[in-house]
Amino acid sequence: MKTLKALLIVTLMSASVAAMAEGGGDKVMAQMEAARASAMTTYQKSEHATAVASNQKAASNDVARSN
């Protein structure tokens, strides 16, 4: 009975590991690529907003100096 239990546990554990290993790397890589693309889009938007704000501030300083 103990051997049967041990064999059953080993079989179930190896089956679950085999199921997780199948295509798991591809799924993880796809999630990483999607997260990277999302992060880069957000970063580029924030950089663009910062550059626009900086340009507007510089332009208002130039107008103030010319008066």
Look at residue 58 in the predicted model and tell me its pLDDT: 59
pTM: 0.47
pLDDT in tens, 12-66: 887 766 666 666 677 888 899 999 999 999 988 888 878 777 766 655 555 455 5
DSSP string covering the chain, please? -HHHHHHHHHHHHHHHHHHHHTTHHHHHHHHHHHHHHHHHHHHHHHHHHHHHHHHHHHHHHHHHHH-
In this predicted structure, the answer to whether residue 1 has a pLDDT above a threshold of 60 is: yes
